[in-house]
Amino acid sequence: MGASKVDIYSDQINAIAAIAKVFAHPARVAILKYISSQESCICNDIVDKIGLAQPTISQHLKVINEAGLLNGSFEGKSICYCLNVDRFQEIQEHLNAYFNQTKSNCC
Amino acid sequence: MGASKVDIYSDQINAIAAIAKVFAHPARVAILKYISSQESCICNDIVDKIGLAQPTISQHLKVINEAGLLNGSFEGKSICYCLNVDRFQEIQEHLNAYFNQTKSNCC
DNA sequence: ATTTAATATCGTAATATTGCAATAATACAA
DNA sequence: TTGTATTATTGCAATATTACGATATTAAAT
């Protein structure tokens, strides 16, 4: 097979896995870090900074965007990619809730 | 290609991605949740609970174990898999450090 | 020593992910 | 309108992941 059997898990569990997946590639972690460190940045900067080809960066940005983690308009020429800090915080809290819940009752 | 270019990222970034990868599959999130909810549990319980074949569970447990998240001996017949709460907490703090650091300076 | 029960490993098929070259689309400037 | 610069999309090759049947290993019980 090879595909995850998403339907056999609860929504909460799938949500955690989906969130984790965004951070499960170093390029995306690096991109998020870089975006947050810049006042505003455009994709070409990222390409130079990270060291991957432009289409590859664009693909990773799409994943990050689909997680709701990008702010600003992003079509056309010179574009401002910004970290959606609210969503970023929300994700952090979501993860912490899972961690705290899981920690609570153990041998 | 298809392989992550691990060598072009900092250790910190690769570490975050490696941690996230553990949680990036719902089966592993579910296994961790189940393990933590039981006083002690054996793999066969997990197989019944999660609904994947025994080899598949075993494979996921290996990933979890390699992340240092399992306590107890795990060879032979009846085995007690326990969540390594210390390591679990350590990972939580590691992620929070990354999140807080990334949040701090943004537009 | 044999059986039994539980977990690990191997081999393999199916799907997902990653990465990039080529190309398209978009926005702006001249 | 015609470049020019920037980002998105497409198509494809390579690698990784997921899942499971078959089999091996392990530990305990009989």
On average, the pLDDT of chain B sits at 86
pLDDT at A37: 84
pLDDT at A64: 96
Q: Does B106 touch chain A (CB under 8 A)?
A: yes
Q: What is the mean pLDDT of residues B87-94?
A: 96
The token duo for A63 is 């994943």
pLDDT at A76: 47
| Residue B46: closest CA among B63, B66, B60, B25 | B60
Q: How far is residue A33's CA from residue B42's CA, in Å, rounded to a whole number?
A: 40
Q: How confident is the model at residue B39 (pLDDT cuts 50, 70, 90)?
A: low
Helix (H), strand (E) counts: chain A? 5, 2
**Which of A35-39, A94-98, B19-23, B101-105 shows the lowest mean pLDDT across its residues?**
B101-105
Q: Is the pLDDT of residue B1 over 50?
A: yes
Q: How confident is the model at residue A5 (pLDDT cuts 50, 70, 90)?
A: low
Q: SS3 of B105, please? A: coil
| Residue A17: closest CA among B20, B34, B101 | B20
Q: SS3 of A68, please? A: coil
pLDDT at A7: 65
The secondary structure of residue B81, as a DSSP letter, is: B
Taking only the tens place, the pLDDT of each residue in A60-98 is 999 999 999 998 755 445 567 789 999 999 999 999 999
Q: How confident is the model at residue A2 (pLDDT cuts 50, 70, 90)?
A: low
B12-97 CATH: 1.10.10.10
Other CB atoms within 10 Å distance of the CB of residue A45: 15
CA distance between the termini of chain A: 35
Q: Which nucleotide is nearest to B65 (CA to C1')?
A: C8
Other CB atoms within 10 Å distance of the CB of residue A59: 14
Q: What is the mean pLDDT of residues B46-53?
A: 92
Q: What is the mean pLDDT of residues B73-93?
A: 78
Amino acid residing at A45:
D
Q: Is the pLDDT of residue A104 over 70?
A: no
Could you tell me what percent of chain A has a pLDDT over 90?
61
Q: Is the pLDDT of residue B74 over 60?
A: no
Q: What is the mean pLDDT of residues B62-76?
A: 81
Q: What is the mean pLDDT of residues B5-25?
A: 91
The CATH number of domain A16-99 is 3.40.1360.10 = no
Shortest Cα distance, chain B CAs vs residue A59, angstroms: 13
Of B9, B16, B29, the CB nearest to A17: B29
Residues of B with CB below 8 A from A27's CB? 4-5, 9
Task: Determine the distance between A5 (CA) and D13 (C1') in angstroms.
Answer: 27
Q: Is the pLDDT of residue A48 over 60?
A: yes
Q: How far is residue A70's CA from residue A61's CA, in Å, rounded to a whole number?
A: 8
Q: Is the pLDDT of residue B76 over 50?
A: no
Q: SS3 of B94, please? A: helix
Q: Is the pLDDT of residue A105 over 70?
A: no
